Amino acid sequence: MKKIIFLILVTTFLGLVSIEQVKADSQENVFGWAWSENIGWISFNSTTGGGSVDYGVHIGTDGVFSGYAWSENIGWISFNETDLIGCPSGVCQAKLDLVTGEVSGWARALSYGDGWDGWIHLRGSSYGVSIDFSTSPKDFEGWAWGGDVIGWISFNCDNPETGNVCSTSNYKVQTSFSFPPTATNLNVEPKNYCTNPVQYFTWQFQDPDPGDTQGAYQLQVDKDLPPDWVAGKDEYDSRVCYSSVQNAQVPVVKDPGVNQLGYNTSYNWRLKVWDEHGASSGWIYGPAFDTEVHIYPTPDFIWTPTSPTQGEIVQFCATCNDESTCYDINNNKISCSGQSFLWTFPEGTTFATGSSPTSENPRVKFNSTGEKIVTLEITDDVGTCSKTKTIGVMLPLPKWKEISP
């Protein structure tokens, strides 16, 4: 019933008033007008409402409101948290949900500074104020309730409950607030442990503001967890990287130094992202991880004869003289003998008796000439690495014997 009465009042009043469309100044990011069925217009920024006193409402990067709106009939309306202590119910702080766009909490009418505490509830069980993320600047919409004195407060001339009255007066509260970005799907995994061991970090940048992209990131890795995490003493700190790339690689080495990770160690990590406007997500913590226990195997092999011919038995050696290298838990070099071996030879290769693709040092015969690609994989207790080489196989020399003249 109150909202129906409001529609009649606002339609009548709006025909007499022209609202100038302006933007907020550099200090406050909320601007424009709301309408109360009982007290009339409420200005959210001095650039909108005029006057010699600077005022305005502001939304912080954490979504918390602050500052003052103004009504000619009741004076200042405070959104400052210190003025909201003792609100009638629930959480007093006026705050924007950065995910849903819903505004909750309270504001307080101060009546020209004389202490009259007319409370304004920004969200109830069947009403509430929200911000539309899709518009630019972003539009407030919905209703707040100010009790019997202030009544219903409309934040947009196009509210579903009363229909669109914008043709009479296009009023609304708006904000230039840039919603902070976030990062999701934080993941870390080992990568390139056979050639250039790194821990590979990935994430997905997200921003409620349409079209905003990642402008920078910072990634830190540490053995400790908050509150023991001491900034500046991290095992790794990328510093602020001005990049839209959503991944990072951190080296893993036997004897780690600055900005390097060690083997067989548990780590924690966190990430901060910025959009291209400089809005920051704050620290987001990824899942803890362990680096590999030790260095992966380093396969290698030789063969004899070095220039084999078609049909000739060739001896391959991966461990005959420790051609391949494996490692213990302390990253000391050890023989690879006894580990898992897998040889891959080209089609048409025949294994000699007692040899197979899983032999450490197989003997084979190539049944055709040309370049032959041979690959060896070695798997130990932590990983698998491979080595590939190309062997040239020639035709055998013709048989001949010396005959006396």
**More confident site: 376 or 397:** 376
pLDDT of residue 21: 34
Tell me the average pLDDT across 356-378: 97
Residue 165 has a pLDDT of 87
Asked if residues 91 and 105 have their Cβ atoms less than 8 Å apart, the reply is yes
Q: Reply yes or no on whether the pLDDT at 18 is more than 50.
A: no
Identify which has the larger pLDDT, 91 or 26.
Answer: 91
Paired with 325 in beta bridges are 298
pLDDT digits (tens, 9 = 90+) for 34-49: 999 899 999 999 987 6
CATH architecture of the domain 182-290 equals Sandwich (2.60)
Per CATH, 182-290 and 302-393 having the same topology is answered: yes
- Average pLDDT (231-254) is 93
Q: Identify the pLDDT of residue 174.
A: 95
Higher pLDDT, 75 or 153: 153
Q: How confident is the model at residue 389 (pLDDT cuts 50, 70, 90)?
A: very high
Task: Please write the tens of the pLDDT for every residue from 308-356.
Answer: 999 999 999 999 999 999 999 999 999 999 999 999 999 999 999 999 9
pLDDT at 51: 59
| Residue 9 pLDDT > 50 | no
What average pLDDT does this structure show over 253-262?
Answer: 94
Mean pLDDT over the full length of the chain = 88
Confidence of residue 114 (pLDDT cuts 50, 70, 90): low
Which of 35-49, 87-101, 260-274 is predicted least confidently? 35-49
Q: Is the pLDDT of residue 185 over 80?
A: yes
d(CA 329, CA 242) in angstroms, rounded, equals 38
The residue whose two tokens read 């972003």 is 138
Burial class (CB in 10 A: 0-12, 13-18, 19+), 280: middle
pLDDT (tens digit per residue) in 301-310: 999 999 999 9
- Residue spans per domain, the chain: 2-175, 182-290, 302-393
Is the confidence at residue 24, as pLDDT, over 70?
A: no
What per-residue confidence (pLDDT) applies to 170? 86
Q: pLDDT band for position 233 (50/70/90)?
A: confident
Assess whether pLDDT exceeds 50 at residue 158: yes
Q: How confident is the model at residue 27 (pLDDT cuts 50, 70, 90)?
A: confident
Separation between Cα atoms, residue 393 and residue 388, nearest integer Å: 16
Using alpha carbons only, give the angle 78, 83, 88 rounded to the nearest 5 degrees.
Answer: 100
The percent of residues above 90 in pLDDT, for the chain, comes to 72
Q: What is the pLDDT of residue 275?
A: 93
Q: What tokens appear for 44 in the block?
A: 């959210």
Token pair in block for residue 143: 């209703």
Confidence of residue 20 (pLDDT cuts 50, 70, 90): very low
- Of the CA atoms within 13 Å of residue 371, those in its CB half-sphere come to 4
CATH number for the segment(s) 302-393: 2.60.40.10
Q: Rounded distance, CA 123 to CA 131, Å?
A: 13
Whether the predicted pLDDT of 14 surpasses 50: no
What integer pLDDT is reported at residue 17 of this predicted model?
Answer: 34
Backbone angles phi, psi at 12, to 5 degrees: -65, -45
Q: Give the lowest-confidence range in 78-87, 228-237, 242-251.
A: 228-237
Q: Encode 31-54: b = buried (16+ Cβ within 10 Å), e = exposed.
A: bbbbbbbbbbbbbbbbbbbeeeee
CA dihedral 222, 223, 228, 232 (to 10 degrees): -30
**Contact by Cβ (8 Å): 246, 202:** yes
What mean pLDDT do residues 178-189 have? 92
Q: What is the pLDDT of residue 134?
A: 84
Nearest to 222 by CA among 174, 256, 273, 171: 256
pLDDT given for residue 115 in this prediction: 54
